[in-house]
A and B are shown apart, each in its own frame.
Chain A
Amino acid sequence: MIRKWNYIYCLSLLAMIGTACRKPYNPQVISNDNHYLVVEGVVNSGNDSTVISLSRTVKLSEDVRTQAVTNYTVAVEGEQGGNYVLQSQGNGKYEIGPMHLDATKKYRLHITTPEGKEYASDYVEVKQTPPIDSIGFMPKNNALQLYVNTHNAANNTRYYRWDYEETWKFHARYQSDYIVDAITKEVRGRHPDEDVYICFASDKSSTIVLGSSEKLSQDVIFQGPITTIPRNAEKLELRYTILLKQYALTKEAYQFWENLKKNTEQLGSIFDAQPTQLKGNIHNINDPAEPIIGYVSVSSTQSKRVFIDNTQLPQDWIAKYPYDCEQPDSALFFNPKTGIREVEAYIINGGSIPVSAIAPTGFIIGFTYSSESCTVCTIRGRVQKPSFWKEK
């Protein structure tokens, strides 16, 4: 709460001077052949399954984002016994169903490589996550601010982390009533299951969201900021939902996440802290000097979903369509002036999407057409309504 000031301070400073500028920067190849082990995941102590992701770091210059590790042995071990082996899912993820761990005991994650290298986390206490009280939203500075309220009457959670999955309903710029039949290569009306006007898209959180009531007299998070959505985002065009997951953290885990956030999200301004080494709680049992990235916590999970309908937002908030779309153009079967068979040339062979029929006398003489990005929502979403989706 107090530390965020640095970040804001900087941004404003730069804007104020108005001459500051941020340019992409790719220094001379910084190479390091080491591929450090990365361990991510929360050991779920409650009645939900546990997923641990293992990967190796890659060079900055490489195109791949990460390098999954699939053939390690991963297990959750209790300090006073208990061994739960996770199953490799093949993509670097290792999974196990609900373990119902004893909240009074301590557990750790144990990893063995095929070469026999052993990694283990420290034994960590089980944190019980209190339920989310509510998720709210309010317009602020031309954006929608989403926030969370939660509390623990026992005053012993104190450190929180959230991640979320957003889903929203949106439509293409123009509704296409016609389609080029794949077999006959003729323009015909769309069947209901071919409709590509309304879609659903979703996204997972990519920033680290943390909260702490450390400095408060009660363990209360009041309007803890989750995310902000610009007023003209397509997400807010029709209806939006967020599934928020809440994790209780130990103080050490909170510090790890906070450092990771500082190191990778809050850099570059004048008064920001310099990047520092990241210390997790996982070690190579035989070589403590080997850098391992990651912090394993053990906790239960709480989640909550809310829907936000466009009608709940200020009326003058208008979504900006992500592509430039001009008015649909006209294509005639045969243009007597030019002698071009426009429907054939532009739509059937040209790849444009027919929007509506041109029938001045009740007889179709051609179609209006537009680009795929202006008519087909499936290029960035799915037509299939998600199972959790609820209309108003």
Chain B
Amino acid sequence: MKKIYFLSFCFLILFKLGYAQQNPAASISVNFQQVTIDQFVTELEAKSGYHFYYDPIRFDSLKVTVQVNNKPLETVLDMAFKNTNFHYAIADRQVFLTRGREIQTRLAAGFFGTSPLAKSSPNIITNVPVADFTDEKEKKVPEATTENKLYEIGIKTNTIGSGKATLSGYVRDGKSGESIVGASIYVTNTKTGVATDQFGYFTIVLPKGRQILSIRGIGMRDTRRQIVLYSDGKLIIEMQEQVTSLKEVKISAEKVANVRNVQLGVNRLDIKSIKQVPTVFGEADVLRVVLTLPGVQSVGEATTGFNVRGGSADQNLILLNDATIYNPSHFFGFFSAFNPDVVKEIELYKSSIPERFGGRLSSVLDVTNREGNKKKFTGSAGIGLITSRLNVEGPIVKDKTSFSFGGRITYSDWLLRLLPEAYKHSQASFYDFNLDISHQIDDKNNIYLTGYISKDKFKLNSDTAYNYSNRNANIKWKHNFNDKLFSLITAGVDHYQYGIASFDNPVNAYKLNFDINQTNFKTDFTYYLNRKNTVDFGVSSIYYKLHPGNLQPNNVQSLVVPDVVPSQQALESAAYVGDKYDITDDLSLSAGIRYSLYNYLGPQTVYNYAPNLPKTSSNFLDSTTYAKSKVIKTYSGPEIRVSARYNLGDNTSVKGGYNTLRQYIHLLSNTTAIAPTDVWQLSDPNIKPQYGDQVSLGIYHNLKSNTIETSVEVYYKRLRDYLDYRSGANLVLNHHIENDVLGTEGKAYGIEFLIKKATGKANGWISYTYSRTFLKQNDPNAGELINGGAYYPANFDKPHDFNFIGNYRVSHRFSVSLNVTYSTGRPITLPIAKYVYGGSERVYYSDRNAYRIPDYFRSDFSINIDGNHKVHQLTHNSFTIGVYNLTGRQNAYSAYFTQQAGVISGFKLSIFAKPIPFINYNIRF
């Protein structure tokens, strides 16, 4: 190979002068049918008198078929080598045949000094493949790094066959080597598109021939690639980070995705847009931004539990790199469990929940962490009022293995010491650590490891100490069988626990622990059947083991009797298959079915109650004891996931969907907000799984070349066997929780409007939602009727909800953000009468949730100042300064009536009753 280049170069020098004087060659006539190179050259040399130079070994695969009459030699050679990897160069009656590299017989313009050509734009799109002589190694998969090059895919033939071929590949960040999730690859000619999966892979079926791919990714510069597709093949696309527009809102990976995608009710946010939304302590908060999306609500400010389309907070499946996070909050709900420096993006499924997810009724919040930088060590650090963060990432083996580590700690005790005496001796702290490792074994195999640990501890002035902790670990193996079949195998363990301990009173000293453990295993396959069909299928299994409560004495003098609620075990399995079917260019259908099977397992003693009577201790009949691993109760059923999209033109589409879901695990909480010490409960013979279904319809329209997205979605949802509580229910250390809970029915409906401008100096979104959620308990056999069996509004029923998120980039280094939120006050139960009892005035309560607290309004403002944008400098600095609750409105968190010194009075409690200024300093290195 090298020899040829050298040889060619020598000839170039020698015959340079002669080239200009080359005479037009004589015409020749040949007729080759599948001849070898030797036959081909021998005949041409004889007929033309030219001398050919070539390496026979490199041409052994070539078979030439050409038939011409009286054409110049160049035409013969052009025809013979057309659309192949072979090239020729003619210089002074010498013909050089090369493979893969073309010999330029002319020196580059400007080689001997300035030339007008040298000043021309380097962005001229040259259609001629340019051989890169410095690239010694021929790689198997072309890495497409520039726009102006034509990349050839597949086995080259001199004629491009008709029909279609499969292009598969991988999109990554050219700088860090990190995969780019959700990047869209859109083919202009065919108006087809595809998005990369969670590991940056994509597969698309295209007509053979010349194609232009437009590639767009979150936070990446839009780019395109030119390819010639000969047959099935692979392509690695490297994209460049969008360095100059750090503060651009990018809510959706694909600008046309909301119109083209078959799914409804999906929102994707990347960390950059999350980071520019002002938050109370200045630290970016994933869950807080989720709350600004249409259809997402919460009961109040200090809660991280959120409600999606009328579902309760425990009906959201919260995944961090596929690990289930049972408690997504820190520090009384003021921080979310996700470190903003580690998170890459989030995706919220509100309506069309893909078949591969299951186990919760309302939504899936899929949080993805960044992969570590595969090329160099980088990091970032942030300092806020209460927390500090550090993130380090880099290669372990360059281009193969990388890690990403993130940690957060609090130092809030100084804040607590500033408080009045009564709270001075409190302590509260948390930490969390993320470790992600990704390793590329080879082209076809990737391994990903995720580890997460978090812990919260607080001891208030009382003698009682609380703590809770999430611990998760999983391993994923991605394997590409071929260009059409991909698999992902995941195995992991998820753990959540809390503990309460009391020390001061030696006789009553106790510790109480709760934990939940799940071991899960799942396989997901994607098969690109053909251009019109993409099939997903897989199986999954989760083994649950819960310890619902364990009370133990905390010292030797303690008289506390150990009280252990027996552990609960269950196995939740599912198999699914789904097909995305593009029926025509305009009509697409995604239909799938998931069959879930739930086994409640022994050892366990189950109480049996008289049929058709409330499950209370008075109706207790007898109990049955089951041995270890014995199947006590099985629940199963199909879950349907269907959605369809019809394009009404290039920028408009209409979508519809229907899905059903089942949930086998319940959070027991009779407080308004989720408390960290709420317990989870598995379905058992006395507690039925929850069931929900939803039908939704949406219209999507993009304006101004897809820079403005608009959508309207409506939904109607039904819930069955959602747990509510009997009056005065006790949920802690309850051996027979069925005595204290009630199965309720629910219905929810709403309409959501969204207008979003994703690019430009001014960007952001406006959402408005009108929604209602009602529950009812009207089965007298189940126990007490709530509100006489009529529908009553759920705690999170807030009909009107308006959000505005805006960002204006004054310059590349300076931007301002404004956030405005309005919603109807949430329902509460208010007293309707008063009386004197136990030495004090007391109140008598109305029907459940018959009244509302005052409406909620808040606006936040922040200024983001970046250091200079030189790409190559040691550290990049940025500041965020802002004010939370700019107007200082005293929004009611709750309204309640309580007695003080024997007199009943009404109070309105506000959590953030004043404007709260904040500052945050971040460093990237």
Q: Which residues of A contact B (CB under 8 A)?
A: 1-6, 8-9, 11-27, 30-32, 34-36, 38, 40, 55-60, 62, 65-66, 141-142, 163, 204-208, 213, 215-218, 220, 222-223, 255, 257-260, 262-279, 291, 293-294
Contacts and interface: CB of A to CB of B under 8 A. Distances in A.
B551 interface: yes
B832 A30 contact: yes
Contacts of A20: 909-913
B422 interface: yes
B508 interface: yes
A154 B244 CA distance: 79
B421 A21 contact: no
Contacts of B829: 274-275
Interface in B32-46: none
Interface in B488-509: 500, 502, 505-508
A262 B727 CA distance: 11
A5 B460 CA distance: 9
B904 A217 contact: no
Interface stretch (B77-85, B622-630, B696-704, B833-841): B833-841
B283 to A, nearest CB: 15
Given A9-B460, A215-B551, A32 B833 contact: yes
A141 B421 contact: yes
Interface in B711-752: 725, 727-730, 732-733
B671 A57 contact: no
B507 A2 contact: no
Given A259-B727, A268-B909, A217 B561 contact: yes
Interface string B891-911: 011111111011011111111
6 contacts: A16-B423, A22-B908, A213-B559, A274-B828, A278-B727, A278-B844
B461 interface: yes
B844 A291 contact: yes
B11 interface: no
Contact of B728 (A6, A35, A258): A258
B441 interface: no
Contact of B839 (A14, A21, A24, A163): A163
Contacts of B563: 215
Given A2-B512, A25-B907, A215-B560, A60 B840 contact: no
Given A20-B911, A23-B907, A277 B845 contact: yes
A22 B561 CA distance: 40
A57 B913 contact: no
Given A24-B907, A24-B908, A12 B426 contact: yes
Given A9-B460, A12-B423, A276 B834 contact: no
Contacts, number: 262
B447 interface: no
A15 B828 CA distance: 24
Contact of B907 (A18, A266, A268): A268
B732 A2 contact: yes
A36 B843 CA distance: 11
Nearest to B788: A289
B559 A8 contact: no
Contacts of B421: 141-142
B907 A222 contact: no
B670 A264 contact: no
B376 to A, nearest CB: 41
A57 B835 contact: yes
A72 to B, nearest CB: 16
Contacts of B675: 6, 9, 271
Given A215-B560, A259-B728, A264-B842, A206 B901 contact: yes
B909 A264 contact: no
A3 B732 contact: yes
Contacts of A12: 423, 426, 460-461
A9 B841 CA distance: 25
Contact of A27 (B334, B830, B890): B830
Contacts of B559: 213, 216-218, 220, 222
Contacts of A13: 302, 332
A11 to B, nearest CB: 8
B259 interface: no
A16 B837 contact: no
Nearest to B557: A222
Contacts of B502: 1
Interface in B786-838: 795, 828-838
Interface string B452-479: 0000000011101010000000000000
Contact of B851 (A30, A56, A213): A30
Contacts of A265: 898-899
A22 B909 contact: yes
B833 A57 contact: yes
B560 A270 contact: no
A25 B908 contact: yes
B416 interface: yes
A4 B422 CA distance: 17
A141 B840 contact: no
Contact of B419 (A18, A205, A222): A18
B428 interface: yes
B864 interface: no
A273 B560 CA distance: 25
B198 interface: no
Contact of B300 (A59, A204, A270): A270
A257 B842 CA distance: 12
A270 B671 CA distance: 8
Nearest to A207: B840
Shortest Cβ-Cβ A-B pairs, 7 listed: A222-B507, A25-B908, A276-B727, A57-B833, A206-B902, A268-B896, A21-B913
Contacts of A26: 906
A316 to B, nearest CB: 14
A268 B832 contact: no
A56 B837 CA distance: 11
Contacts of A259: 727-728
B428 to A, nearest CB: 7
Nearest to B829: A275
Contacts of A218: 559
A56 to B, nearest CB: 8
Contacts of B733: 2, 215
B844 A57 contact: yes
Contacts of A14: 909, 911
B461 A16 contact: no
Contact of B906 (A3, A25, A215): A25
B420 interface: yes
B677 interface: yes
A367 B139 CA distance: 110
A278 B834 CA distance: 13
A175 B217 CA distance: 84
B303 interface: yes
Given A30-B851, A291-B844, A6 B464 contact: no
B551 to A, nearest CB: 6
Contacts of B412: 16
Contact of A294 (B725, B837, B914): B837
A19 B505 contact: no
Contacts of B332: 9, 13, 16, 270
Nearest to B838: A208
Contacts of B506: 222
B911 A220 contact: no
B833 A216 contact: no
A3 B500 CA distance: 11
B833 A27 contact: no
Nearest to A60: B834
Given A15-B420, A220-B507, A274-B672, A204 B560 contact: no
A58 B904 CA distance: 13
Contacts of B841: 65-66
Interface string B415-440: 11011111100101000000000000
Contact of A21 (B334, B732, B851, B890): B890
Contacts of B914: 19, 21
B844 A216 contact: no
B671 A163 contact: no
